[in-house]
Amino acid sequence: MIDLKNKVAVVTGSTSGIGLAMAKGLAAQGCNVMLNGFGDEEKIEQIRASMEKDHNVKVSYNSANMAKPEEIRTLIQKTVDTFGGLNILINNAGIQRVHPIEDFPEEDWDDIIAINLSSVFHTMKAAVPHMRKADWGRIINTASVHGLVGSVHKAAYVAAKHGVVGMTKVVALETAQDNITCNAICPGWVHTELIDEQIKIRADKLNVSKDEAEKDILREKQPSMNFVKTEDLANLVLFLCSPAANQMTGAELPVDGGWTAQ
Ligand code: NAD
């Protein structure tokens, strides 16, 4: 348990998967949360309302498209206007497209770089002054094992995630004396919507069931043979927001069942 009462968090891409688990984890510790991401409006409203009710915190939602810098700036300003400040920024929105380099559509490259990399620049640029004002800030960037190593057919994703890890170090240095930390989380395979397409491609290629394709994907890269749980990543966020992590900054933290130990 850590006390995040009266703290304010923005979690980009928090309408599903990893970001939603992180947002719920923060709310459970008393943090007010600005949700963001795409999806069915009614479903998002249900999530928002139940988080408020379950945890007795304020939860708001903003639909900013992370590909659009103007909307990102509005997201940060709306958060400050709604809650009176901003302390925790989780850059988590992301997409995936896989193609061999020679066939990689330029539009997919542009989308991945905008959403997975440039958005992290725009949110941090807008958020850091508010954290300095509050004299306390935590920035947590959901990178990936692909911020540390490569895999075939992921030119844009690997470039973006390596960029996120690099940018994390720069912002950590620039904020080192301001009671602000900036770290990157590097998950291996996590069972969310983001990897559904890759599981389907593997099942079709091997002509096997979805379960078999999942095992094959794990066998190839993730020695634990288990998917990382979204709750594990939410707990890591809470650790990074706790006093125990006050001196942790600029770190790249693999949570990957041994993927990058090989
Ligand atoms: P997900 O598809 O469940 O969640 C992605 C979130 O980003 C959703 O809320 C979606 O609405 C939002 N989003 C997508 N495009 C957006 C845009 N243009 N503007 C605003 N929001 C947008 O997938 P996930 O696995 O939870 O992915 C979350 C993050 O974790 C991503 O950055 C991803 O790269 C990273 N990651 C995932 C895995 C994995 O195996 N699933 C592994 C390592 C890293």
Tens digits of per-residue pLDDT, 178-208? 999 999 999 999 999 989 999 999 999 999 9
Interatomic CA distance for residues 39 and 60, integer angstroms? 15
CATH number of the 8-188+229-255 domain: 3.40.50.720
For 208, phi and psi rounded to 5 degrees? Answer: -130, 175
In single-letter form, the type of residue at position 77 comes to Q
Where do the structural domains in the chain lie, given as residue ranges?
8-188+229-255, 189-227
Q: Would you state the pLDDT for residue 2?
A: 86
Residue ID of nearest Cα to ligand 1 atom 44: 144
Beta-carbon contacts of 154 under 8 Å, excluding residues fewer than 6 positions away, are 96, 98, 146
Q: Determine the distance separating the centroid of ligand 1 and the alpha carbon of 62, expressed in angstroms.
A: 16
**Whose CA is closest to 258, among 167, 164, 189?**
189
Question: Per-residue DSSP letters for 191-234?
Answer: -SGGGHHHHHHHHHHHT--HHHHHHHHHHHH-TT-SPBPHHHHH
pLDDT tens digits, 144-188 = 999 999 999 999 999 999 999 999 999 999 999 999 999 999 999
User: With left for phi above 0 and alpha for psi between -120 and 50, is residue 65 left, alpha or beta?
Assistant: beta
HSE toward the beta carbon, residue 71, CA cutoff 13 A: 14
**Whose CA is closest to 259, among 224, 231, 232, 230?**
224
Asked if pLDDT for residue 1 goes beyond 80, the answer is: no
Token pair 């080192």 in the structure block, residue: 176
Q: Would you state the pLDDT for residue 10?
A: 98
Quote the tokens at residue 171: 């912002």
Task: Report pTM.
Answer: 0.98
Q: What are the pocket residues of ligand 1 if the criterion is a CB atom closer than 6 Å to any ligand atom?
A: 13-19, 36-39, 65-67, 92-95, 115-116, 142, 144, 187, 189-190, 192-195
Quote the tokens at residue 167: 């940018």
Q: Would you state the pLDDT for residue 144?
A: 98
Please compute the mean of the pLDDT values over residues 119-127 and round it to a whole number. 99
The residue to mutate among 18, 75, 120, having the most atoms of ligand 1 within 8 angstroms of its beta carbon, is 18
Beta-carbon contacts of 57 under 8 Å, excluding residues fewer than 6 positions away, are 27, 30, 31, 32, 33, 51
Q: Determine the distance separating the centroid of ligand 1 and the alpha carbon of 95, expressed in angstroms.
A: 5
Q: Would you state the pLDDT for residue 178?
A: 98
Q: Which of 10, 27, 112, 157 is catalytic?
A: 157
Ligand 1 atom showing the smallest separation from residue 145 Cα: 43
Q: Determine the distance separating the centroid of ligand 1 and the alpha carbon of 13, expressed in angstroms.
A: 6
Catalytic residue check, 157? yes
Q: Would you state the pLDDT for residue 227?
A: 97
Asked if pLDDT for residue 261 goes beyond 80, the answer is: yes
pLDDT tens digits, 211-236 = 999 999 999 999 999 999 999 999 99
Q: Would you state the pLDDT for residue 156?
A: 98
Please compute the mean of the pLDDT values over residues 127-143 and round it to a whole number. 98
Average pLDDT for the chain: 97
Q: Determine the distance separating the centroid of ligand 1 and the alpha carbon of 234, expressed in angstroms.
A: 14
pLDDT tens digits, 58-114 = 999 999 999 999 999 999 999 999 999 999 999 999 999 999 999 999 999 999 999
Interatomic CA distance for residues 208 and 212, integer angstroms? 6
Asked if pLDDT for residue 143 goes beyond 90, the answer is: yes
Interatomic CA distance for residues 166 and 237, integer angstroms? 19
Interatomic CA distance for residues 98 and 104, integer angstroms? 8
